[in-house]
């Protein structure tokens, strides 16, 4: 079953009340409905609602990683419309891409490739007596490069007998990428002691497929193999650009708190120390670069070797998870 997200329902009523009260505000733009003008818009569109257009939900389990996002198309007028309103929608162009990259500077977006989404219902009809209808766009997350940030602008082109608003006629649906997101080789070591022994007494799992999942442009998560429950390391860093070259510094690592309380705490596993960056890269025994940086991307990719000490209720467990290319 495809996953669907409904973000408009609980806010639509309040939004409609705002529309019908007297005006819409977009900086210096005011629209007065006392003139009898009818407008078409996205109730949760525009840059003011940019954050709610982030596609962060877990995709379906199919091969493409399907996500269906529903959104509303609205008629804003002093009274309910007496005739059907036909609204034309379209995927945005380079000008819309340039606009979102100028409106915010934290992320540099590229246009979403056409094979990574499906948006075919470009004409919607709002029946007489109704204020809005819903439509949807489908994304295929697994077809995107997780290191890139993508945007799919969907905008209103026209509405019969209605004007477009200045501020609510576009959705900036977007995925935020991360320079370190993507596939890694993952080696796992467990020691049945409070320190590293000559051999991993608790066993190893080497050469596994691991994935760094982006949270933001400067944050990603990877999992630890201990207990097999998917507890995540949360890695944060600072990204700067020096003479056109991205540089990385201030790397930190911590467990996602909700994983520890929701997965480990009920099973009596507790963390006694760490997580930290391990001092030696286990895949080649080379000393790690200083996580404080600054580091190039190639250097930074060699520090993702994490260690911590856990207690399972009866004995210590020293764990190393090494992510490398």
Which pLDDT score is estimated for 14? 38
The answer to whether the CB of 268 falls within 8 A of the CB of 235 is no
CATH of domain 182-324: 2.40.128
Which pLDDT score is estimated for 247? 93
> Using a CB cutoff of 8 Å and minimum separation of 24, what contacts does 232-236 make?
232/256, 232/259, 233/275, 233/306, 233/321, 235/180, 235/304
Which pLDDT score is estimated for 70? 96
Cα separation, 211 vs 145, in Å, equals 12
Which pLDDT score is estimated for 95? 96
The answer to whether the CB of 317 falls within 8 A of the CB of 201 is no
Cα separation, 224 vs 231, in Å, equals 6
Which pLDDT score is estimated for 284? 65
What number of CA atoms fall less than 13 Å from residue 79's CA on the CB side?
6
Which pLDDT score is estimated for 35? 54
Q: Where do the structural domains in the chain lie, given as residue ranges?
A: 3-175, 182-324
Q: What is the mean pLDDT, run by run of 10 residues, along the chain of 325 residues?
A: 44 39 37 67 94 86 94 92 95 96 88 96 95 96 91 96 92 92 92 85 91 88 92 96 88 96 92 91 73 94 94 93 93
Q: What residues pair up with 117 in beta bridges, in sequence order? A: 139
CATH architecture, domain defined by 3-175: Sandwich (2.60)
Count of residues making up the chain: 325
Which pLDDT score is estimated for 214? 85
Residue 317 CB coordination number (10 Å): 20
């Amino acid at each position: 079953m495809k996953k669907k997200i409904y973000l408009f329902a609980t806010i639509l009523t309040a939004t409609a009340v705002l529309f019908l009260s007297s005006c819409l505000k977009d900086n210096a733009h005011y629209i007065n409905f006392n003139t009898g003008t009818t407008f078409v818009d996205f109730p949760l569109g525009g840059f003011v609602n940019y954050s709610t257009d982030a596609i962060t939900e877990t995709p379906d389990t199919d091969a493409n990683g399907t996500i269906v996002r529903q959104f509303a198309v609205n008629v804003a007028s002093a009274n309910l419309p007496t005739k059907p309103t036909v609204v034309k929608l379209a995927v945005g162009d380079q000008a819309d891409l340039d606009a979102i990259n100028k409106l915010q500077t934290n992320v540099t977006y590229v246009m979403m490739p056409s094979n990574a989404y499906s948006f075919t219902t470009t004409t919607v009809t709002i029946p007489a007596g109704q204020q809005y209808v819903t439509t949807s766009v489908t994304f295929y997350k697994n077809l995107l490069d997780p290191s890139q940030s993508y945007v799919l602008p969907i905008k209103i082109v026209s509405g019969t007998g209605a004007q477009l608003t200045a501020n609510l006629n576009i959705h900036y649906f977007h995925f935020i990428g991360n320079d370190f997101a993507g596939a890694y080789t993952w080696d796992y070591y467990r020691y049945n002691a409070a320190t590293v022994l000559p051999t991993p007494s608790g066993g190893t799992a080497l050469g596994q497929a691991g994935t760094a999942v982006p949270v933001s442009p400067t944050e990603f998560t990877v999992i630890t193999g201990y207990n097999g429950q998917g507890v995540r390391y949360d890695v944060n860093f600072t990204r700067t650009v020096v003479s056109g070259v991205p540089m990385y510094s201030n790397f930190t690592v911590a467990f996602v708190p909700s994983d520890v309380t929701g997965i480990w705490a009920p099973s009596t596993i507790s963390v006694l120390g760490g997580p930290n960056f391990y001092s030696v890269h286990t895949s080649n025994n080379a000393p790690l670069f200083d996580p404080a940086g600054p580091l190039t991307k190639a250097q930074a990719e060699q520090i993702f070797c994490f260690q911590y000490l856990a207690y399972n209720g009866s004995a210590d467990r020293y764990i190393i998870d090494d992510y490398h290319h």
